[in-house]
Amino acid sequence: MRYRTSIIIAALAALLALPGCKLVKNEDLAKAKTEGGAQAGSDAAAFDPDKMARQMWGTKIVPYLEAKAGPFADVRSLIAESPDDAGKRFGYREKPEGMPWTIATRFEGRIVAANTASRAATVDVDIDGDGVADAVVQIGPVIRGTALRDGLDFISFNAFTNQIDYAQFAKSLNTLMAQTTLAKLPREDLNGRQISVIGVFALDKPGDKPLVTPAVATLGDKAS
């Protein structure tokens, strides 16, 4: 027994003599793991999609869409000829294949129907003056889709840590736009009013009326 104890003591002494080695208590190890986890999560905690959206909205996003947006008649005509050509001229998609183009457009027209029972409210807009809706415009406050984010050629998925951050930024853009662009728009007595829009839509089905998410929207008077 004494011989076995001597071996254990000698082994411990040899271990402690190794350069850089030390014994760590269980509670110290648990504390280190906790602190390390908090440190590892600091980068994620520092990501603020709302702040990022606010900083870019007026300085980059709106000016970019104002410059990129094509007149609706030109956009619609080119889509009928070649959706890819329309996308290359008036839109953007991050991946060359497998994703729809997001098209930027501008137009003025008359509201021929208002769908405001839902919080994801929309208005149908006649752009060419024939009395029939050519586009559907989201007026919120709930905004569907990620077109605002997807239409920006300076926003890449690879710039975000993960899919969650990427999705949160899209949500922040929609929320900010609804608060700044759409909050001042009324929800009553919209039919017949003029509306001016600069916005984006996903080119999922080229033959369908586009669902436009506005970046800029201004209401005018009713037709006399």
pLDDT band at 9 (very low <50, low <70, confident <90, very high): very low
| Whole-structure pTM value | 0.78
Q: Give the pLDDT confidence score for residue 45 in this predicted structure.
A: 59
Residue 2 has pLDDT above 60, yes or no: no
Helix, strand, coil in percent for the chain, rounding step 5? 45, 25, 30
Taking Cα atoms as reference points, which of 203, 196, 22, 9 lies closest to residue 109?
Answer: 196
Structure tokens at 197: 């829009």
Q: Give the pLDDT confidence score for residue 37 in this predicted structure.
A: 35
Q: Give the pLDDT confidence score for residue 19 in this predicted structure.
A: 41
**Could you tell me the residue ranges of all domains in the chain?**
2-40, 48-222
Supply the DSSP symbol for 189.
S
Q: Rounded to whole angstroms, how far apart are CA atoms 80 and 60? A: 30
pLDDT band at 96 (very low <50, low <70, confident <90, very high): confident
For 166-222, write each residue's pLDDT tens digit: 999 999 999 999 999 998 888 889 999 999 999 999 998 888 899 999 999 999 988
Q: Give the pLDDT confidence score for residue 207 in this predicted structure.
A: 82
Does the CA dihedral 170-172-177-178 come out positive or negative? positive
For 62-95, write each residue's pLDDT tens digit: 999 999 999 999 999 999 999 999 999 999 999 8
Provide the percentage of residues in the chain whose pLDDT is more than 70. Answer: 79
Best CATH choice for the domain 48-222 from the list 2.40.50.140, 1.10.645.10, 3.30.2350.10, 1.10.150.120: 2.40.50.140
Residue 126 has pLDDT above 90, yes or no: yes
For 35-69, write each residue's pLDDT tens digit: 333 333 445 558 899 999 999 999 999 999 999 99
Cβ density class 124-150: b for 16+ within 10 Å, e for less: bbbbeeeeebbbbbbbbeebebbbbbb
Segment 95-118 mean pLDDT:
93
211 phi and psi, to 5 degrees?
-95, 105
Q: Give the pLDDT confidence score for residue 17 in this predicted structure.
A: 44
pLDDT band at 113 (very low <50, low <70, confident <90, very high): very high
Kindly give, in sequence order, each residue whose CB lies less than 8 Å from that of residue 40, ignoring residues fewer than 6 positions away.
none
> SS3 for 102?
strand
Q: Let me know: does 216 contact 193? Beta carbons within 8 Å.
A: no
Q: Give the pLDDT confidence score for residue 123 in this predicted structure.
A: 98
Q: Give the pLDDT confidence score for residue 27 in this predicted structure.
A: 44
Q: Give the pLDDT confidence score for residue 222 in this predicted structure.
A: 85
